[in-house]
Structure 1
């Protein structure tokens, strides 16, 4: 395999600084899903932790380095999950954390960022505007700007999921990974292609936020003017060239799925796995719904990457009964 920005030795070392509460997450075959999907399905569950997403694997690495350098503050832009993770990791290491987010972000995610003690600044725009504001704060205050997917620590932290996927007696025909900024896909993809190269790495993105998928197929950065998807965690418009370069080396395919399939995937995970997940976490199941013939008879793993969801919206989307 050609060399990505990632390094497997550093990924293994990352496991030593990540709080164990985020490591060795459940990986199990979910037979109850299989009649509906036509293939064997294993779930890698990244929601059973203090921030209910995989993002803290990366922020644990970032904040460890910052603490070692005697840094006192950091800032990031976030749709919600990265902000929660950075706030959690920074709090444990005595760092002052600022998170910039769109005021249209999921309220539950914004409330969780505040609850973890971070300063939250909201902008009247989308995630790309939040990225610009976070960069301006970092320049003005002279503090570290944590950029998800661009900062190699976020990719290598996420890549520890890949180590756990390959360190099992089960071999998978394919691994389905949600694709947004690219940290999860490039991280897990790097490990799989180095240690289990026969396994297909397939990235999944909503049709309403297709920039990275279009970039992968075009082998050049393709931007979009807007996004239109309930999967806010992957709703980027401007892929980063360095991340795309890595993705081109580790992904075997990148596919787009419809909103209806994302909702159907969330409902399947609720009904057959007992899991309440955010839309981004259901992208792998959505791809199985739309590509039954491609995966028929195969054993597929999917990373259920986040469980931070606005429950009122979740009930609307899935038709699940609201609690009394």
Structure 2
């Protein structure tokens, strides 16, 4: 795939000391557009026939997927229309428009933007580029894990943030094909645990709402295509709470000098909070994105301080 960065894998000696593991961070926050989403979007867009390309593409997104689709479309000179919820941060709207896509703000939630995008697809014959429930998209996301296995061949475990499941299903297919002994663990925000609940068999009622600072993984229900892959291949799924995510964002900012969004910090949060069990291991954490609203850092600071009885990060 052209124009996708091979992002670095970084070791954090502080993280190693704090957790007793050898932790490697896969820095997809340094990917073009600030997130791994470009990989899947570009893979899908590159797979379109000339006839499909001529009809344009549409998508729905709360942010990162939109930017990936917009950049991918601009490279193939395809017109792209992106439907986003009305309260999408202005920075994400501007970034998407800067890549040449047309943005339509509609509805309160991703779901409403998604419905509007599907209607556009039916009316115009454009190709719908789904954020996760698409085989080409999943395959593109799986290239993150392939790079990790090349960069650190002796990984024991890969920890992956889970929203709709595109990244983890692509990761699972790549890892279980080429290095089946490597464990793959999914992480969800405790405020948006749809995949976790189904995997653990506790999803008796559908989630009425989802809430978390990890807006990149705020999904109400597991993907139709992604969930069966997760269910069949994943080793475990865990959840992290808001304090744990906020603490991980601040840890990465203070110690690694890197700014990561809530979804991207979830994998690191799970390791810091000792949710990934076992003796000393080589753990690869996918830091999935860095498109964070800088004005919210004080909110994260307050959240992280609510962790009672935990050693403060500053003295770690």
* Residues 1:39 and 2:16 aligned together: no
Q: Tell me, yes or no, if structure 1 residue 112 matches structure 2 residue 87.
A: no
Q: Is the 8 A contact 1:221 1:240 kept in 2?
A: no
Task: Tell me, yes or no, if the aligned pair for 2:29 and 2:264 is still in contact at 8 Å.
Answer: no
TM-score, normalised relative to structure 1: 0.87
- Partners in 2 of 1:159 and 1:221 — Cα distance? 31
TM-score in terms of structure 2 length? 0.89
State the alpha-carbon separation in 1 of the partners of residues 71 and 110 from structure 2. Answer: 21
Matched, 1:247 2:230: yes
CA pair 136-249 structure 1, distance change in 2 beyond 3 A: same
What is the CA deviation profile of residues 121-180 of structure 1, one whole-angstrom value per residue up to 9, with x for unaligned ones?
112321122211111111111111111221111100011112112224541221110001
Task: Give aligned pairs, total.
Answer: 301
- Secondary structure of the structure 2 residue equivalent to 1:47: helix
Gaps of 5+ in 1: 1-17, 320-324
| Structure 2 counterpart of 1:146 | 129
Task: Report how far residue 290 of structure 1 moved.
Answer: 2.0
Q: Distance in 2 between matches of 1:141 and 1:223?
A: 33
**SS of 2:131 mapped into structure 1:** coil
> Is the contact between residue 70 and residue 96 of structure 2 (CA under 8 Å) also seen in structure 1?
yes
Tell me by how many angstroms 1:219 deviates.
Answer: 9.2
In the alignment, which residue of structure 1 is the partner of 2:242?
259
Distance 1:169 1:275, change over 3 A: closer
What stretches of structure 1 move > 6 A for 4+ residues in a row?
Answer: 219-222
Measured in 1, the distance between the counterparts of 2:181 and 2:293 equals 38
Confirm or deny: 8 A CA contact 1:87 1:97 kept in the other structure: yes
Measure the CA separation in 1 of the matches of 2:200 and 2:68: 31
TM alignment of 1:158-307, pairs within 5 A: 158-218=141-201, 223-291=206-274, 294-307=277-290
Shift in alpha-carbon separation, 1:285–1:199, aligned structure 2, 3 A: same
Deviation at 1:295, TM superposition (A): 4.6
Indicate if the aligned counterparts of 2:133 and 2:224 stay in contact, CA closer than 8 A. no
Q: Which residue of 2 aligns with 1:30?
A: 12
Answer yes or no: is the 8 Å Cα contact 2:97–2:103 preserved in 1.
yes
The answer to whether structure 1 residue 66 and structure 2 residue 19 are counterparts is: no
Alignment RMSD, CA only? 1.9
CA offsets 1:238-293 (integer angstroms, 9 cap, x no match): 22222110111221111111000000011111111111011000001111122267
What are the residue-to-residue correspondences of 1:123-134 with 2, within 5 Å?
A: 123-134=106-117
- Alignment correspondent of 1:155: 138
Q: Deviations over 1:195-221 (max 9, x none)?
A: 111111000010111112112222989
| CA displacement at 1:107 relative to structure 2 | 2.9
Residues 313 and 169 (structure 1), Cα distance of their counterparts in 2 relative to 1, 3 Å cut: closer
Change (3 A) 1:221 1:134: farther
Stretch deviating more after TM superposition (135-144 or 61-70)? 61-70
1:91 corresponds in structure 2 to 74
- 1:309 to partner: Cα distance: 1.0
C-alpha separation in 2, matches of 1:37 and 1:160? 27
Q: Helix, strand or coil: the match of 1:167? A: helix
Helix, strand or coil for the counterpart of 1:309?
Answer: coil
For residues 221 and 182 of structure 1, what CA distance do their matches in structure 2 show?
Answer: 20
